[in-house]
Structure formats: structure tokens, C-alpha cells
């Protein structure tokens, strides 16, 4: 049944409100101060869009929708409960599901529409199904790499770019052939299969270290495929939501590439993470100085300016609440404590901001890399908690290093550097860190939460 004018106006109103909420959500998500409001706005927007669609009188029966809702909730609820360090792979799976649903609706539209599909309509469906299908398989491979069920290293072979581009070319050729002959029965399934294969070929050669950037790019593809689906289904809210998703994912990928000083082509074709052996060999014999929690507490209490640099290890150890206690104790003693935030510290953009906000550390104490670096020369102690690559001076000096050119936090310019980590093992990029061998560096070996807890005990006078 077609909706009456009043119902249609109500539905349109709900869709417009949802679109406005999506835009506000993205705006608010860009600062930790307003991020919670942003999440809520996004949730209300999504609920409004889904609710309005379900209330549309054109819907004839709810049976299959209820079945799909139960299956979706059955998968989505446990996915939402994963540990925070697993959020990148969880996000990759969400993109995979989003892209799969866009591709499947496109496939359904094709089979429902033939033999009456216009050339323009066929072009829309073909493009949408190609992007949806390659995003689906690409995202599944990305999630597998991040979860380490697939090898993290880049899997490459000779002539690989030629093979991958030929497969993409074949998918596009099949789409063009379909536009001229939509009713040819074999072209459409062949195009879907070729696009699925291209998704695998696209992501397999990319190393684990680049996966978060790739996921952000796949997020952007999933968004664009949803926007195209909006054109196919004549749904304005889907066009808007898809375009917002697509463009914000793309902007995020650009920001991440900049933070790592990498170009898109380097991420997609550079096979980052392969060259690790030579860097290790050169430093095997070098010695480091280590210190106890008691010594660390003594050095910190004698300082007047401290910069704390958190990284992935703080997230793994869930040390943020202990770090908050340390921050409180030092601040009470009149010590100026700030946090140096690298844009790609951790395993996802904003990872450190989220953890520190969770521990109620004031937002104005979180200082972006470029701003804190100018202060580093006047800093008494740089305390690194489970960070590694984002502090590696080889990025500035060693042209042979795989992270050469990546902007880093200049902690080596501080008067004393203290590094909390469990061992001399490398970080995500798999390379040694010359920072640890400097005269002014003290290694504080141990789990981040336990070690910070010990320093806190020493400082609060109960360590003896
Ligand atoms: P990192 O280089 O991966 O180093 C983390 C360090 O934490 C490790 O060296 C590890 O040393 C230590 N660690 C692990 N568990 C610990 C625990 N329980 N207690 C104490 N220390 C622990 O991390 P990062 O400096 O944050 O750099 C992030 C890396 O991810 C960069 O290479 C970046 O390019 C990459 N990346 C991030 C993003 C993003 O969006 N954030 C995106 C793309 C790539 P031990 O094993 O010795 O303890």
C-alpha cells in the first residue's frame, strides 16, 4: 500500500531528522569532550531511520524482517562485547556485513528487476554490487589478519599488481557488458565472483601494520556502496548516510596516512612490514639500563615537568586507571604533567584518547604530537607507558627503517626517558628502537598496570 500524504510527510520528517543527527554525530565525534553525545546522536539517528522504514505502509509483511533482526542481533550483541584491543577486527567485520548486505540487496534488485532494467539502472546496480562484493571479501581478510587467524605479513608474488588490476579490469568489463545487455544470464554472477576475488587480492598483499588504514578505506568503500544502493532503491536517507560514511572513512584514511608519513599507493602496494631482519641484527649486542619502581618514583618526584606517552601496551594492560592515580599524585606535588598523544598510538585512531577519557583524565592535559614536541626539550621526564614505534627516533634518522619519515613524539629530547614495557620485544612495525640504548634512557621492565601501580605505591609512601 502506498503511504498517504500525511504518512509520507511523517516518514520524510523522520528521515531528515535522522540525516541531521548523523551529521551532528560526526561533528561531535571529532572531540573527546562531545564524543559521547556524538555516539548517542548516531544511535538515535539510526533508530529513527530503521523505525521509519519499518513503519512504511509499503512493507507488506514482517516475518522475514523479524527473522533477520534475530539473526543480526545474535551476531551483533556478542560482537559488541569484544575487548577494546579487538575493536579494529570487529570494525572490519562490521564493514564486511554492511558491504555484504549492500551487495545482496543489489543482487536482489537485479533479479527482481530483469528484464525491465534500464541501462542507467544496470550501471548503478553493477557499480554498487562490485564495490559491495570487493569490500566484503577485503574486510573479511583484513579482520582475519588482525585476529591473526591469517598471516599478518604481506603476501606478495611477482607480477601481483598486474594480476590484481587485470581482475578489477575484468569486473569492470563485465559491468560494461551488462549495461549493454542486462538480460545475459551469465554476466551478472560472473561479475559478482570476479569482484569477490578482487577483494581478496586487494588486501592479501598488505601487511598487518597497515590494516587499520585499510579498514578505514574499506569503511569508505562500504559507505559509498550504501550511497549507490540509496540511488538504486530511491532512498534519500541511505544516500546521505552512505555518503557521510564514505567520505568520513576516506578523510580518516588520509589522516592516518599523513600520521605515518605514507602515501595511499605506499599503503596499498608498499608491502610494509616485510623488512625487519637487518634492523634487529645490528643491535643485538647493545646494553640497556634498567630501574626499579622505587628509582622511577624518586626521579618522577624530583621532576617539575613530566610528559606521559601512552601506547598500545597501556591498552593491553588496561593501565589507564593506575595512570590516572599516578597523574593525581604527581599533580598534587605541583608537578606539571601532560600526555603526549600520537595520532596512531595504539591500534585505532583515538585509541589513547578513549582510554584516558575513560579514566577521567582532564581533556586539556592531552596534547597532540605537534604541540607537545615543541615542549620536549624543556621536559624533565618523558614516561613512556607501553608505546614503542611512535617514539622510535629511527623514523627521523634511519633511511633504511620501514618507519622512516613517520612523524614521532620526540621523547629522546627530554632530560630523562623512562620506558615501561615487559621486554625488549619490538612493537607493531617489528623493528628495534634505538631510544632504549641512549644514556638518558631507563628501562622499567614489567607489565604497565603492575609497574605504574608499584610507582604509585612508592609515591604514596606505602612502598616500604
Ligand atoms: P607499539 O609500537 O605496537 O608498541 C607497543 C609496546 O607495548 C610493545 O613494544 C610491547 O612491548 C608493549 N606492551 C605490550 N603489552 C604490554 C603490557 N601488558 N605492559 C607493558 N607494555 C606492553 O605501539 P605504539 O607505540 O602505540 O604504536 C602503534 C603502532 O600501531 C604503530 O606502528 C602504528 O603505525 C601502528 N598503527 C596504529 C594505528 C592506529 O590507528 N592507532 C593505525 C595503523 C597502524 P613488550 O612486548 O616488551 O611489553
Distance 313 CA to ligand 1 centre (A): 6
Question: Cell digits for 435?
Answer: 631510544
What's the CA gap between 353 and 101, in Å, rounded?
Answer: 32
Q: Which of 328, 370, 375, 389 is catalytic?
A: 389
Any atom of ligand 1 within 6 Å of the Cβ of 198: no
Look-up of cell digits 628495534? 432
pLDDT digits (tens, 9 = 90+) for 385-402: 999 999 999 999 988 887
Verify whether ligand 1 is closer than 6 Å to residue 140 (CB atom).
no
Q: Who contacts 407 (Cβ-Cβ below 8 Å, separation ≥6)?
A: 259, 261, 369, 370, 395
Beta carbons within 10 angstroms of residue 94's beta carbon: 19
Nearest to 245 by CA among 99, 144, 120, 424: 99
Ligand 1 centroid from CA 386, angstroms: 6
Protein residue with least CA distance to atom 44, ligand 1: 209
Atom of ligand 1 nearest to the CA of 311: 26
The whole-angstrom separation of Cα 317 and Cα 421 is: 10
CA distances from 59 to 35, 47, 282 (A): 35, 17, 67
Contact 310, 352 (CB under 8 A): yes
**417 CA to middle of ligand 1, Å?**
17
**Which H helix or E strand runs over 442?**
strand 441-445
Distance CA 36, CA 245 (A): 18
Spatial CA neighbour of 82 closest among 148, 147, 152:
147
Whether 407 is in the pocket of ligand 1, judged by its Cβ within 6 Å, is: no
Per-residue pLDDT tens listing for the chain (464 residues): 667 888 889 999 999 999 999 999 999 998 878 988 999 999 999 999 999 999 888 888 899 999 999 999 999 999 989 887 788 889 899 999 999 999 999 999 999 998 889 999 999 999 999 999 999 999 999 999 888 898 877 788 888 889 999 999 999 999 999 999 999 889 999 999 999 999 999 999 887 767 778 888 888 998 999 999 999 888 889 999 999 999 999 998 888 888 777 777 777 665 544 444 444 444 456 899 999 999 999 999 999 999 999 999 999 999 999 999 999 999 999 999 999 999 889 988 888 998 998 899 999 999 999 999 999 999 999 999 999 999 999 999 988 887 888 899 999 999 999 999 999 999 988 899 999 999 999 999 999 999 999 999 999 985 54
Tell me the whole-structure pTM to 2 decimals: 0.78
- Whether residue 256 has its Cβ less than 6 Å from ligand 1: yes
The verdict on whether 389 is a catalytic residue reads yes
Q: Which atom of ligand 1 is nearest to the CA of 423?
A: 47
Q: Is the Cβ–Cβ distance between 335 and 300 less than 8 Å?
A: yes
Strand blocks (E) in 218-325: 305-310
Amino acid at each position: 500500500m502506498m503511504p498517504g500524504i500525511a504518512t509520507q510527510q511523517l516518514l520524510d520528517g523522520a528521515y531528515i531528522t535522522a540525516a541531521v543527527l548523523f551529521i551532528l554525530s560526526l561533528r561531535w565525534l571529532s572531540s573527546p569532550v562531545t564524543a559521547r553525545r556524538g555516539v548517542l546522536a548516531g544511535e538515535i539517528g539510526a533508530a529513527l531511520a530503521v523505525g521509519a522504514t519499518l513503519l512504511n505502509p509499503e512493507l507488506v509483511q514482517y516475518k522475514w524482517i523479524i527473522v533477520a533482526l534475530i539473526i543480526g542481533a545474535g551476531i551483533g550483541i556478542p560482537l559488541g562485547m569484544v575487548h577494546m584491543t579487538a575493536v579494529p577486527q570487529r570494525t572490519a567485520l562490521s564493514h564486511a556485513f554492511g558491504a555484504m548486505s549492500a551487495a545482496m540487496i543489489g543482487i536482489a534488485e537485479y533479479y527482481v528487476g530483469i528484464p525491465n532494467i534500464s541501462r542507467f539502472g544496470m550501471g548503478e546496480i553493477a557499480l554498487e554490487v562490485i564495490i559491495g562484493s570487493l569490500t566484503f571479501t577485503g574486510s573479511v581478510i583484513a579482520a582475519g589478519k588482525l585476529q591473526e587467524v591469517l598471516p599478518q605479513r604481506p603476501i606478495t608474488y611477482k607480477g601481483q599488481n598486474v594480476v590484481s588490476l587485470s581482475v578489477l579490469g575484468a569486473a569492470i568489463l563485465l559491468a560494461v557488458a551488462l549495461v549493454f545487455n542486462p538480460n545475459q544470464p551469465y554476466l551478472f554472477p560472473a561479475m559478482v565472483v570476479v569482484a569477490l576475488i578482487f577483494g581478496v587480492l586487494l588486501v592479501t598483499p598488505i601487511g598487518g601494520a597497515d590494516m587499520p588504514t585499510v579498514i578505514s578505506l574499506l569503511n569508505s568503500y562500504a559507505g559509498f556502496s550504501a550511497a549507490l544502493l540509496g540511488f538504486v532503491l530511491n532512498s534519500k536517507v541511505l544516500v546521505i548516510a552512505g555518503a557521510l560514511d564514505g567520505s568520513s572513512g576516506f578523510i580518516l584514511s588520509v589522516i592516518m596516512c599523513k600520521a605515518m608519513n605514507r602515501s595511499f599507493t605506499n599503503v596499498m602496494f608498499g608491502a610494509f612490514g616485510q623488512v625487519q631482519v637487518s634492523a634487529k641484527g645490528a643491535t643485538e649486542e647493545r646494553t640497556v639500563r634498567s630501574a626499579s619502581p622505587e628509582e622511577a618514583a624518586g626521579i618522577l618526584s624530583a621532576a617539575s615537568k613530566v610528559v606521559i606517552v601512552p601506547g598500545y601496551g597501556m591498552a593491553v594492560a588496561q593501565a589507564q586507571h593506575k595512570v590516572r592515580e599516578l597523574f593525581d599524585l604527581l599533580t598534587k606535588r605541583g608537578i606539571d604533567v601532560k600526555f603526549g598523544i600520537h595520532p596512531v598510538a595504539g591500534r585505532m585512531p583515538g585509541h589513547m584518547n578513549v582510554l584516558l577519557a575513560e579514566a577521567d583524565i582532564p581533556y586539556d592535559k592531552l596534547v597532540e604530537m605537534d604541540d607537545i614536541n615543541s615542549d620536549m626539550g624543556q621536559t624533565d621526564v618523558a614516561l613512556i607507558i607501553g608505546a614503542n614505534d611512535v617514539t622510535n627516533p629511527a623514523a627521523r634518522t634511519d633511511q633504511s627503517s620501514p618507519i622512516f619519515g613517520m612523524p614521532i613524539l620526540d621523547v629522546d629530547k627530554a632530560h630523562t626517558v623512562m620506558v615501561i614495557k615487559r621486554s625488549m620485544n619490538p612493537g607493531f612495525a617489528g623493528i628495534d628502537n634505538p631510544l632504549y640504548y641512549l644514556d638518558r634512557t631507563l628501562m622499567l621492565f614489567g607489565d604497565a598496570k603492575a609497574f605504574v601501580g608499584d610507582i604509585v605505591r612508592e609515591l604514596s609512601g606505602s612502598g616500604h
